[in-house]
Amino acid sequence: MVDLHAPALDSVFHALSDSTRRQMLRELSNGERTVSQLAEPFSISLQAASKHIKALEGAGLIRREIRGRTHLCRLDPGPLASAHRWLSVYERFWTDRLDDLERLLREEDVGKTPKPKGDDR
């Protein structure tokens, strides 16, 4: 069971709440990127990109390695797995509700099925 009040989970959802950071994570799922490469699609400054990267690092979603003057970022999927486990509770909730709805609609359809001609039941 995932602790619903875990500070780490709070920081993951906070980091994921921003579309720029989500896109950065998507880019990192294809392999490591430099800060410049992560900033490029957004036309944001390196300073702004660095703030987003720090939020992702703080949540444990990425790791940064410094090689000379180059900062390389790499995805760390562990915290995403914790968020996925937490969300799976709601996935089951909605799956159960949709299954119930499907069952009710099928029952309603069966009740509305016209009788074949000549059937006096």
The reported pLDDT for the residue numbered 27 is 95
Structural domain spans, the chain: 1-111
pLDDT band at residue 6 using 50, 70 and 90 as cut-offs? low
Task: Specify the fold of 1-111.
Answer: Arc Repressor Mutant, subunit A (1.10.10)
List, for residues 47-97, the tens digit of each pLDDT value.
Answer: 999 999 999 999 999 999 999 999 999 999 999 988 888 888 888 888 888
* 3-state SS, one letter per residue, for 40-72: HHHCCCHHHHHHHHHHHHHCCCEEEEEECCEEE
Give the model confidence (pLDDT) of 25-51 as tens digits. 999 999 999 999 999 999 889 899 999
* % residues pLDDT > 70 (the chain): 87
**Distance linking the first and last C-alpha atoms of the chain:** 53
> In terms of C-beta density within 10 A (0-12 exposed, 13-18 middle, 19 or more buried), how is residue 120 classed?
exposed
